[in-house]
Amino acid sequence: MRRELRHPARLVPLAFLAVIVAGTVLLMLPVSATDQPASFVTALFTATSATCVTGLAVVDTQAHWSTFGHVVIMMLIQAGGFGIMTLASLLGLLVNRRLGLRSRLVAQAETHSLVLGDVRRLLLWVGMVMLTVEAIVAAILTVRFRLAYYDGLGEALWQAVFHAVSAFNNAGFSLYSANLTGFVSDGWICLPIAVAFMLGGLGFPVLYELRRGWRRPAHWSVHVKLTLLGSAVLVVTGWVAYLLLEWTNSKSLGALDVSGKVLASFFQGVSPRTAGFNSLDYAALRPETLALTDVLMFIGGGSAGTAGGIKVTTFFLLAFVILAEIRGDPEVTLFRRQLAASVQRLALTVALLGVGVVAAGTFALLLLTDHPFDAVLFESISAFATVGLSMGVTTDLNHWAQLVLVILMFVGRVGTITVATALALRERRRLYRLPEERLIVG
């Protein structure tokens, strides 16, 4: 039993559970709330949402939680985004100046490092990038908040730091009851936040490799090329689609000038890919826009970053698999490289498990609530993909329905493959091959 629990694929979920439990206890303290102490379910939901960098909330984050509660939420966001095992390995590295093999394996499972020997440097790079981006974004936001919105430097600095941490970690938590709708036309607020969550959503291995060889695109790995290509396609698609679909909607973009429409459509076009911030009211968006948002949320961001979803590489890898099958190619190739069959099976497994988890969560919520299907599906995808966007359903859910979202957020954060591996008690290795036979498909 002890050896089973030491496996990195089991340690990661257990570590997240431990942090969620600790966060739940802290948020249940009277000092964490402004009025009545939070109930167990409310504290559990908030701790899970923060640790899993989701952003869904069952209470008003600004009004319900005290300053101490806000600090707890921010620390949970930082811990969840950085990765519990990554943080533990980095602290051990800084203290002991060395990293054992087991710690490297644990960190590799969390960061998805492609080379075991790169884990030590990757951990240092993760910490440096996270703190640097958060500091730069916090500095920009502090100046803007101080000059335009707050008279005191202390309040401006606190708001800036909290939103910078929430942005880079793709959490979507805000200290404003209406999220960022009050800054829909303020580029000095929206753009730094958007840059932060886009960088965090690319994935640490991508940032690490770009740092080492950004001048030599021809030497980039297939993972980096596919992540950047897929991200660029999704950014442009989301931006243009929001602009066209909501241009005349008087409840969203229609009330803004041209520059405001461009800014708001860009921000909302990239935010559904797990960032969770909103500068527009999602209850006022058109059905076709919400359907597009469902797709963007489910795809998510880059692997081994602060984003959720099935990941960009998974989605586009399956697209190339379909293309190869249509063209009759015997192998799937990307950027002059052949993809291993095991990688294709892994991508298919992740995607289908994601569909299954979302379907199960949606069905459970339909049984437990009276909300319409489209709203329930939206909340389920948002929870699983750790996005945090909401059509206003989450705050109206009963405790059992909230627990369903808690499960979706946890599974979405630690990854369907990690959860499946953690639940497996043993690995099977077959020493023989059975005769091959073809089935009728389609």
Inside any domain, residue 163: yes
The total number of structural domains that make up the chain: 1
- The rounded distance, in Å, linking the Cα atoms of 429 and 123 is 32
Q: What is the pTM of this model?
A: 0.89
Inside any domain, residue 432: no
Domain that holds residue 246: 2-423
Q: What angle do CA 244, 195, 275 make, to 5 degrees?
A: 70
pLDDT tier, 298 (very low <50, low <70, confident <90, very high otherwise): very high
Inside any domain, residue 17: yes
- Of 61-65, 81-85, 182-186, 201-205, the one with minimum mean pLDDT is 81-85
3-state SS assignment for residue 186: coil
What digits encode the pLDDT tens for the residues 147-189?
A: 999 989 999 999 999 999 999 999 999 999 889 999 999 999 9
Inside any domain, residue 434: no
What pLDDT score does 148 carry? Answer: 93
89 or 246, higher pLDDT: 246
The CA-atom distances, in angstroms, between 97 and each of 128, 129, 205, 352 are 17, 20, 22, 41
Inside any domain, residue 360: yes
119-148 and 101-111 helices, crossing angle to 10°:
50
Which of these, 195, 197, 206, lies nearest to 168 by C-alpha position?
197
Inside any domain, residue 439: no
Q: What are phi and psi of 286, to 5 degrees?
A: -75, 155
Inside any domain, residue 431: no
Secondary structure of the chain: what % helix, strand, coil (to 5)? 70, 0, 30
Inside any domain, residue 231: yes
